[in-house]
Structure 1
Amino acid sequence: MKEHIQLAWRNLWRNKRRTILTISSVFFAVFLALLMRSMQVGTYGSMIGTVIKNTTGYIQIHAPGYWDDKTINNTFENSEELDETLLSTDNITSIIPRLESFALASSGNQTKGVAVIGTHPGIENKTTALEKKLIRGRYFNEGKDEILLAENLAKYLKVDTGDSIVLLSQGYHGVTAAGEYKVIGILHFTAPDMNNQLVYMRLEDAQYFYAAPNRLTSLSIMLDEPDNLAKTANTLISLLGNDYEIMTWKQMLKELMQGIQSDNISGLFMLGILYMVVAFGIFGTMLMMTMERKREFALLVSVGMQRFKLSRILFLETVFIAFIAIITGIIASIPIIWHFFKHPIRLTGEAAKAMTEFNAEPVMPFAFEWNIFLNQSIVVLILTFVAVIYPIVYVLRFNILKAFKGK
């Protein structure tokens, strides 16, 4: 076997031009496949991560039936015991308590329906970086009856930092909710829906406004390892039973999930087309190599080499070609993938608009994950091994006399 390996390696470099051409065809297959798949996976991951942090979290806990009937009456009472249970569960890094409902915002002659989010300022900022979305004003401190307004909402109400607005709504169990709040900051969101209607206030202020002391509409949960989403959700279901409604982001953000799945299918289809082109390219190169070496094969068999051993050497040559091409393809792609992993491509125009509608940042980062390199390498390796079937079959079946004549 050692002799066969040495012979196969020497055979590669007897015709350097042919070997380099064959390696190049496999190299570009690996290189392009890695770039394409890394871009797809990175974009999906960025979109999911941004949307989850800005909206639902990976998992949410509600009162039973809240998701189908989002009213202030479908709230649950928060407790230290519940918080301790959640934070002691593996894979959970933080929980964000929120009280969300709707209200009518009024300033002068301007009135508009708004979405009110009562939250813990410190936890919210640590998780969603809410303070970084400020374009004017300041973030929450210890002051009461203060709010942050979304940019377009502030423009519509014709208010700025330092002004006050009146909020009117229906509180817990039908209580009339009314209050005057000072605008301390203006927020900018990429998603138009959020930028047109969001009002943030301290959780205690929201609970007082809606007459719902110590009550929440949701607990948003952030995870350390998102890949273990289902396992963590099942753990919470077993711990909390039927007292709460536990939902993952895939259940809450079905439109986003469907959009990603649809785009992933089209991406895999394009990758499949690339693989087909690559497969024919590799096969064509192998076919050319076989035709060029007809007389060489005939001579070796005629002097006593067994066809099986010759086919084994041919297979080993292909293994060398495949591994050289795959390794060089990975090495060549790493700097590019790493660059766009650290410095994502910023989208503009319609592409950016489509991303912001999902509340995702309009960027296209690449994913730097070992499984991408492994999976694409395996696929190209399989294509290469399939392409070598023809030369091996030819060696096992060819006619020596015809091969000497070049037929």
Structure 2
Amino acid sequence: MSSFRQIYLTLAWRNIWRNKKRTLITMGSVVFAVVLAVLLNSVKEGILVKMQENSVNYFSGAIQIQNPEYWDEKTLENSFEFHDSLGQQVISHTGVSKFTTRLESFILAASDSLTKGALILGIDPQKESKLTKLEDKLVAGTYFGKDDKSVILSSGLAEYLTLEVSDTLVILGQGYHGVSAAGKYPICGLVKHASPELNKQVLYLPLKETQHLFGAYDRCTSMVLGIDNINKAEQIAKELQSNIQGVAVMDWKTLLPELNQMLESERAESAIFLVILYMLISFGIFGTILMMLMERQYEFGVLVATGMRRLKLSGIVVMENIFISVLGAIIGTLLSIPAVLYFHKFPVKLGGDLRDAYENFGFEPIFYFSIEPHIFYSQTVVVFFIALALSFYPIIKLLNLDPIKAMRN
């Protein structure tokens, strides 16, 4: 039985090279489409994943614990008192790897001649750096030291206020229970966020000093959690919510609904484009099948007339079709791997007006490429099933073949 299968495979392989030009043209179209699909899929997924990382992993966190009323009205009145017992309960939960506490508020940041509304984040310097890699984003100056009472500005905000490291920043705002909040702080460092929007409005102050500034001692507005697998954020948030009373536990999809909707819509658009691309591949493969059936009608008629079973003949034709399609997909995938690896290591940085346009819309002006394995092997799998689906046409034609008419034609 195995020898017969080997014979059929050999026949199918030899048959596709009887007309080398047609085979190479069809295979070339599949190669081109697969390379294009891999590159587009890689850059699209790379950009979306980086966008998610910039907003989730490096700022909001995968999960946040807040006062139940804080989400609807973000004021210091809706902060909550943090206790170590809550931290112990959270960090002991399966899937939670780290956490930090924050005290957030909107204030006026001022230099000698300019003022701007800004978001102040009171942070635990060590825990924040572990969770969001804040220290790695320093572009000037130094990070917070022990018992530090200085401030770190995002570079865009510093540029607007024309401030540099060692200059003094004035902060004006409203504290807990309506008390006046005002302070002058030396700038110890500047950080640059990947998100242009964040880079224009965020400043950081040590948590203890922020609590003192706002008169909100031992209080925080959010507890930000880092988890092992971001895809399990929703599940972990539900489990924590059922275990901890008197707080609201929200995953990143709830915290950043616009980002989640945008990611879903972008992936849907990418899927639609890939469907159109694969439809073009399908037409190319189907055209090859039609030409092959027309050219070899006499041959098929003779084979059936001399006793070859139609089902076995159909199997050989199906194998020919799969050989051409899958071989093209494999070659296309192999050709795309070096390009994707190169652009993954050296992302495409936009310049000029295009860069400004991206930043104005709040996007990082860099094209990242993803190297997730499914981006590569999924193309071959899809092309295989396309070839398999299109093979039903020659099967039906050959099962209904009239050898007399075929030989006359």
Common topology (TM > 0.5):
yes
The residue number in structure 2 matching 1:203 is 207
The residue number in structure 1 matching 2:139 is 135
**Pairwise mapping of residues 264-343 of structure 1 onto structure 2 (< 5 A)?**
264-343=267-346
Structure 1 residue 354 displacement after superposition: 5.6
1:179 aligned partner, one-letter code:
G
Alignment partner of 2:335: what SS? helix
The residue number in structure 2 matching 1:212 is 216
CA spacing shift, 1:223–1:356, aligned 2, 3 Å: farther
Structure 1 residue 110 displacement after superposition: 3.6
Structure 1 residue 155 displacement after superposition: 4.2
Alpha-carbon contact 2:344-2:371 (below 8 Å) kept: yes
**C-alpha distance in 1, partners of 2:242/2:382?**
40
**C-alpha distance in 2, partners of 1:190/1:49?**
10
Q: Of 126, 130, 136, which residue of structure 2 is paired with 1:122?
A: 126
The residue number in structure 1 matching 2:12 is 11
CA spacing shift, 1:327–1:196, aligned 2, 3 Å: closer
TM-score by length of 2: 0.90
The residue number in structure 2 matching 1:63 is 67
Structure 1 residue 245 displacement after superposition: 1.1
Q: Of 256, 259, 262, which residue of structure 2 is paired with 1:256?
A: 259
**C-alpha distance in 1, partners of 2:162/2:354?**
31
The residue number in structure 1 matching 2:109 is 105
Over the aligned positions, Cα root-mean-square deviation in angstroms equals: 2.4
1:48 aligned partner, one-letter code:
Q
2:118 aligned partner, one-letter code:
V
**C-alpha distance in 1, partners of 2:24/2:162?**
68
Alpha-carbon contact 1:51-1:358 (below 8 Å) kept: no
Q: Of 180, 187, 205, which residue of structure 1 is paired with 2:184?
A: 180
**C-alpha distance in 2, partners of 1:403/1:168?**
90
**C-alpha distance in 2, partners of 1:334/1:155?**
41
Structure 1 residue 29 displacement after superposition: 3.6
Structure 1 residue 206 displacement after superposition: 0.5
Residues 313-364 of structure 1: per-residue CA shift (max 9 Å, x gap): 2223333334433333332222222222232222335654465457553322
Alpha-carbon contact 2:16-2:324 (below 8 Å) kept: no
Residue 230, structure 1, aligned to residue 231, structure 2: no
Residues 173-225 of structure 1: per-residue CA shift (max 9 Å, x gap): 22222222122223334544433332211111111111112211111122221
Alpha-carbon contact 1:98-1:117 (below 8 Å) kept: yes
CA spacing shift, 1:356–1:90, aligned 2, 3 Å: farther
Q: Of 244, 248, 264, which residue of structure 1 is paired with 2:247?
A: 244
The residue number in structure 2 matching 1:85 is 89
Alpha-carbon contact 2:54-2:194 (below 8 Å) kept: no
Residue 194, structure 1, aligned to residue 198, structure 2: yes
1:283 aligned partner, one-letter code:
F
Alignment partner of 2:281: what SS? helix
**C-alpha distance in 2, partners of 1:251/1:15?**
54
Residues 46-102 of structure 1: per-residue CA shift (max 9 Å, x gap): 111112133211111111121110001111121222212222222222212111112
CA spacing shift, 1:77–1:319, aligned 2, 3 Å: same
The residue number in structure 1 matching 2:46 is 42
TM-score by length of 1: 0.91
Residue 365, structure 1, aligned to residue 365, structure 2: no
Structure 1 residue 390 displacement after superposition: 1.8
**C-alpha distance in 1, partners of 2:67/2:336?**
49
State the aligned residue count.
Answer: 405
**C-alpha distance in 2, partners of 1:329/1:166?**
58
Structure 1 residue 143 displacement after superposition: 4.5
* Mean Cα deviation higher: 316-325 or 212-221: 316-325
The residue number in structure 2 matching 1:404 is 407
Alpha-carbon contact 2:78-2:221 (below 8 Å) kept: yes
**C-alpha distance in 1, partners of 2:79/2:276?**
51
Alignment partner of 1:73: what SS? helix
Alignment partner of 2:308: what SS? coil
> What is the percent sequence identity of the aligned residues?
38
Structure 1 residue 232 displacement after superposition: 1.6
**C-alpha distance in 1, partners of 2:238/2:404?**
70
**C-alpha distance in 2, partners of 1:212/1:115?**
17
* Mean Cα deviation higher: 162-171 or 12-21: 12-21
**C-alpha distance in 2, partners of 1:325/1:348?**
36
* Mean Cα deviation higher: 272-281 or 78-87: 78-87
CA spacing shift, 1:203–1:366, aligned 2, 3 Å: same
Alpha-carbon contact 1:5-1:313 (below 8 Å) kept: no
Extract unaligned runs of 5+ from structure 1: none
CA spacing shift, 1:341–1:93, aligned 2, 3 Å: farther
Alpha-carbon contact 2:196-2:364 (below 8 Å) kept: no
The residue number in structure 2 matching 1:395 is 398
1:287 aligned partner, one-letter code:
L
Alpha-carbon contact 2:156-2:200 (below 8 Å) kept: yes
1:137 aligned partner, one-letter code:
G
**C-alpha distance in 2, partners of 1:351/1:247?**
36
**Pairwise mapping of residues 25-40 of structure 1 onto structure 2 (< 5 A)?**
25-40=29-44
Residues 297-325 of structure 1: per-residue CA shift (max 9 Å, x gap): 11111111121221122223333334433
The residue number in structure 1 matching 2:164 is 160
Q: Of 381, 384, 388, which residue of structure 2 is paired with 1:381?
A: 384
**C-alpha distance in 1, partners of 2:25/2:169?**
72
